[in-house]
Structure 1
Amino acid sequence: MDRPVEERIQRQRTYRRLWQIGLALIVVVAGIWGLRKMLGGKVDQDRLRVAVAETGPISNTLSAMGEVIPAYEQVVTSPIQADIREVLIEVGRQVEPGDPILLLDKSFFLLNFDKQKQELDLQENRIDKLRFALAKDQFDLEIKDSIKALEIYSLEAAVESAKRLKQIGGGTDEGVDEAVLRLKIARLEKKQLENDLLIRRQSTSTEVKELEIQANIQRNSIQEMEEKLKRAEVVASRPGVLTWANENIGSTVSEGETLARIADLGSYKVTGTLSDVYAERISPGQAVNIRLSEAETISGRITNIRPTVENNLISFDIQLDEPDHAALRPNMRVELFIITATKPQVIRVANGPAFKGRNEQALFVMRNGVAEKRMVRIGLANSDYVELENNIAAGETIVISDMSRYEHMDKVDVR
């Protein structure tokens, strides 16, 4: 039967094994550090990008994208529902005021226009007929009222006669009462006729006025249709270039639908988009640099910020200081740099991969073939320059390449 290993011997073996593992780890780490030290202590000069620190102004900017569009664009819409019969000018051609662009088939609209005019004639005829009918009714009531007045006059005379006959014994009380009753009835009937005549006069005026209002509405509708017919001649209202036209011959366009676009290609503006995260950092009047190419940048200012957010982007318009710049083209995509802060005189250096966006970081400064590490506080920055707030003087050469692999070293030999 095997004898159990003593606990003390087991513990010694465990300690020895742990010691061997720890020693191996130390050797490996030391080897890696030594190899990194041996390989990382030197760098080829051709692999480095350097820039000289200088004194000058700097601006902090937000990057955005923009599109160049004509400063003025006339949108020609269809004033009526019609069919496109012919396109008279090709897209891209210069147009002058009065030049016809499209030819519309207005036959259906003209039929409706004629129908409206005929309905207006019928409405005016109904008004005349109503006036005649109301005049006749009013005349009849006036005649009846006059007849009733004569009847009352006759009944008043009959009452007086009945009273005289009673006084001389030739009549009775019943005869007088009957004559008085007929007179009262006649007076009430005349009052009723007078009231009917007054109401008829008022209703006559109201009925005619109602029909006249309806006729005026129809008359205004016809005038509006006449104006639309005039505008149905699709022509340019100012000089420019035809940038788009609806060339679907035979298709039906609705009222208000776009038919053509005419742009003034001698003057431009820029529409920009920016993440809504930065919405509070831009405002109208803010200066913007517009990069047209690597060698060409122009300036402008934000004139309008749209209140809506689409796809987490806000949109804004930029008025250019040089709206007629020769490099501008319609629908051209450009880079925008919105200036949020500016300093007139600082130590600055060209931006590069060395800058990681931290407030303070290590930079390597060239001196006698050696790149020396310095901790530098970073200020304003944009796509072109970075402000160096301390530890760097104007005229010193800064390594702007990515030096992350050498950050553990104070100096690096440059061959």
Structure 2
Amino acid sequence: MEIAEELSAAVRAKTKARAFVQQQSTFGGRRGNMPVQYVLQATSIERLQEVLPEFMKRVYESPVFQMADVDLKFSKPEVRIEVNRDKANLLGVSTRNIAQTLQYGLSGQRLGYFYMNGKQYEILAEINRQQRNKPADLRSIYVRSDKGEMIQMDNLISLAENVAPPQLYHYNRFLSATVSAGLAKGKTIGQGLDEMDRIADETLGDDFRTALAGDSKEFRESSSSLMFAFILAVMLIYLILAAQFESFKDPLVIMLTVPLAIAGALVFMWGADQTMNIFSQIGIIMLIGLVAKNGILIVEFANQKQEAGLDKMRAIEEASLQRLRPILMTSASTILGLLPLTVATGEGANGRIAMGIAVVGGMVVSTLLTLYIVPAIYSYVSTNRIKKSKHNDA
């Protein structure tokens, strides 16, 4: 990445050609496309031709992107032929005859075969290249009228020179143009997509639709899937703990360790200059299960102490003291086991580093804060099992 950033800055100074530095995708296959791929969809090619220059101008000016390109380029010269139908009817020439004459003269269409010396040859209809090199040469072609007269094409048609794209692109059955952009140093795909959305809101009309392609599409889908997985993991752990503890209060105390872990992960990621990416999000989901065990050790042991006859405050004090060693041992072993990820090197090291820093940071902060916050919350929220057992006996 560092080499790519240096090369990108160097090639921007070269003005005789447009150069792009592309890296292999970390996820989503082996493509080497630029990370941001934004698709503009319209109902007509004319609308795309009208809007694209202004859209690309805003993209070039944006500090979020260091390079940009679009696949739909209006660079192919073309000549449009318009038939004067009234004049053609007056001279007895049908538009079909005009179209067929142009087709036979310019397309090189095969008319048949002939045999000579035992070999078969194709018969191709085409005007000599010297007589069709220029658009104005079309005017000198003759077409036969219904009366058998030869009429020059100049009397029947008008020419309009224009430019058109060499190839048309479609996305979800709409005419489309895909804008690809490289990110500036320190910018993420999420920030790039937000910037594209902002530019689209300012430049596109109501008749346009937008979509994502390539790495951008996979990033957005992965982000939404990971958020769903995170919420599902929290709910699943809470329901399992509620069934195990036979209480809805005690799992709440344990689940308070999750925001502590997330806060620690974010602080460490900020200190290490890491972004919120797919790898760090996976690490945060891992934290939900890793940090919950600290709270489980304290709460379960405190409940046992209460059932043995101690009051709530005395029970949580005993549980915190006696469970301090196993909490520190399990947390230290987890942190030390994941520590090599934070200093990984080689291909794909960025993903391992992001995941390692998120998990290690969350474990360190949650372990330290859990020893103070969980006992305090337990004393206020948890069920008083002595009163509960007396009520059941009565």
Normalized against structure 1, the TM-score is what? 0.20
Larger Rg: 1 or 2? 1
The structure with the greater share of residues assigned to helix is 2
* Higher strand proportion (structure 1 or 2): 1
